[in-house]
Amino acid sequence: MASTFNTPAAPGDDGKGVSALERDTLLMHSSGRPGKIEIVPTKPLATQRDLSLAYSPGVAFPCLHIARDPSLAYDYTAKGNLVAVISNGTAVLGLGDLGALAGKPVMEGKAVLFKRFADVDSIDLEVDTRDVEEFIGAVRYLGPSFGGINLEDIKAPECFIIEQRLRELMPIPVFHDDQHGTAIISAAGLINALELTGREMSKVKVVVNGAGAAGIACIELAKSMGVRHENVILCDTKGVIFQGRTEGMNQWKSAHAVPTKARTLAEALDGADVFYGLSVKGAVTAEMVASMAPRPIIFAMANPDPEITPEEVKSVRADAIVATGRSDYPNQINNVLGFPYIFRGALDVRASTINDAMKIAAARAIAALAREDVPDEVDAAYSGRRLRYGPDYIIPVPFDPRLISSIPPAVAKAAMDSGVARKPIIDMGAYKRELAARLDPASASMEAITEAVKANPKRVVFAEGEEEKQIRAAVAFSNAGLGHPILIGREERIRATMKNIGLPAAESLEIINSRLSPRTAHYTEMLYQRMQRKGALLRDAQRLVNQERNIFGALMVQAGDADAMVTGLTRNYWQAFEEIQKVIDPKPGELMFGMTVFIAKGRVVFVADTTVMETPTPEHLADIAVQTAHKARQMGHEPRVAMISYSTFGNPSNDRAERVREAVEILDHRKVDFVYDGEMGADVALDPELLGHYPFCRLKEPANVLVMPGLYSATIGSKLLQKLGGASVIGPILVGMSKPVQITSMDASANDIVNMAVLACYDALK
């Protein structure tokens, strides 16, 4: 039977000769709210008072303050985080002169990338003129509206004139990304390619094919970084640009003409070390590559198809390092690695321009990041491909979350050092932490905890020490100065894994084989004392100590030979928890349960119990409320506790809701030091408007601690929120154990493991 569900056609799509990619793209752009951007207010506008503050009459006050001191516009308006993406559509992607209107989807996309990667607000402006003076006149008066101008898809040589004039006329950064973005990312790749091949900037011979905006910008930046003028040959469609050539020349090409006998690209490439391609598909042949110097560096960046494919290069030069502009090959020269973060840094110091020092700083920061170990989240975004510094990984990938805390600080510092910053950053460390928090709100919640752990480093057991993720987490934990990691496992296997994944031998790592440890006999006796009246023989305790790393690690912590422990990769949560309970008891007078922290839309919510207690009694619910409120305070949040039920204050009335009501009564008798109420639905607990329907409720603001009525609802709701709600998640955090132990999920990344180790250490401080 044929399906009755059909994919709707997008406007303008007649279905004839349309690829799946084209159809999907058209539907994506046309479905729901057309386009890719919208304007969202950042202040509440729910009441008449809100309107009076945001608009008339209250808005007059910031206007008057700005009139007296124009710099206050950065404090009272969005100017300081707002970039205009401006184009006339004369060089749209690789499509040519499509005009301003047809270029709008690209400009909207650029605005989305600003927001996605650097939390920079952006709006696209399409200027419908091909006249240089008209374009400059249309843009030059926009300075009061924006903190920066990103010029896009403007053809050469007009783009050179436009950018230069606007930089002279406007007191804010003006940046033509087609020129400088490509130049910066390719320069970062060049830094690492030269290092890998043992070359120096001042000695390499470079050939650039393509004398448009990007090609000339690449040459100029490379020369600023140390490549010698006489060692660069620029080619265009008519061949080599040599001194004395007159055909097809302009002032920008002439600036890079050199005395040479080469007249064709093939002749120029003979013996060359580096090739930059910013031209067209097929411009370079295998024979040309074969004529290059040993270990050639080939950046074939034509869009959408490179001058020569990596496969063609490797067929004649296995020693080559190759980069392209495509995401389906290693070493993608992608401008998104640059412009969002360059503007982020420039905006944050209120730079008057983006100069060469800032561009070079960005290139060096990008290059340095590629030499660091890559987080699991990045591997996952790239189909689990192991990304490791070398010929196939000289440039970070676009979804590396570390970009935002690496590039903007370098750009900001260069702006300050070169004298173009109008608001210098005093505490660069705090600035880096703030940047990380912009896109990962969980990092902000972890900040104070992490700093406390750094100040009081502890010995932490990574129980599943032979697992690659735990090894990488332990190395990262040590490198960050968080404490002393102890890996449980066989040393030869751990060292072999480290070698295979490209991690340097870390002297700070302690490796313990449970079978060989001199403490094994003592731990066996400890465990036997706990289990001998629970049906266990001495040999059972010996077997568990020798074979179960969770038990060995827990015994280390219980004996005081380590301060904390993290596990969970090779056992499901319940199995790991059961093993740890054989060794470690709850804190006297406390329950053991799981608490998960969700961060979304600027809010932090603690949810319990998400892992342990299937059907808590009213007393249990009250205990969970008290302990979770305490944890919330430890993490810097004043608790507002909602006792959650499907019933809200008796509606509907049911026996199951009675348990929650009794828990509230128990809290009443305990006279706790935090605000709480219930029973109530989760929607009421989190929505201030719904809370307003219950004026008697003790919660006057939305709850930030949700005590769930049972494990079923807690686990299902938490996992739904995690997978569908777009929230950042910390945990589940194990609460109530007498010794600090945390259990990760089996799919935890190395970064997740580090976070859980930090939380375990934080418990050890208490």
Q: Binding site residues for a divalent metal cation, as ranges?
A: 152-153, 178, 303
How far, in Å, CA of 51 to CA of 41, rounded?
Answer: 12
Give residue for tokens 């380590």.
562
DSSP state of 337: G
Residues that constitute the known binding site:
92-99, 152-153, 178, 303
Q: What are phi and psi of 119, to 5 degrees?
A: 55, 35
Give residue for tokens 């006279």.
671
CA triple 424-425-426, angle to 5 deg: 110
Half-sphere CA count of 532, side-chain side, radius 13 A: 7
Residues that constitute the known binding site for NADP(+):
92-99
Catalytic residue among 79, 104, 110, 739: 110
* Closest listed residue to residue 238, CA positions, set 252, 248, 250: 248
Burial of 266: CB neighbours in 10 Å, binned 0-12, 13-18, 19+:
middle
How far, in Å, CA of 108 to CA of 97, rounded?
Answer: 17
DSSP state of 203: G
Reply yes or no on whether 723 is catalytic. no
Task: Say if strands 232-236 and 206-209 run parallel, antiparallel, or are unpaired.
Answer: parallel
* Closest listed residue to residue 740, CA positions, set 554, 582, 608: 554
Half-sphere CA count of 239, side-chain side, radius 13 A: 12
How far, in Å, CA of 399 to CA of 269, rounded?
Answer: 34
Cα dihedral 192/414/154/308 (nearest 10): 0
Computed on alpha carbons and rounded to an integer, the radius of gyration of the chain in Å comes to: 31
How far, in Å, CA of 654 to CA of 539, rounded?
Answer: 52
Task: Say if strands 564-567 and 510-512 run parallel, antiparallel, or are unpaired.
Answer: unpaired
Please write down the long-range contacts of 537-544, taking CB distance under 8 Å and 24 or more positions apart: 544/582
Other CB atoms within a 10 A radius of the CB of residue 422 amount to 14
* Structure token pair of residue 297: 């560096």
Active site residues: 110
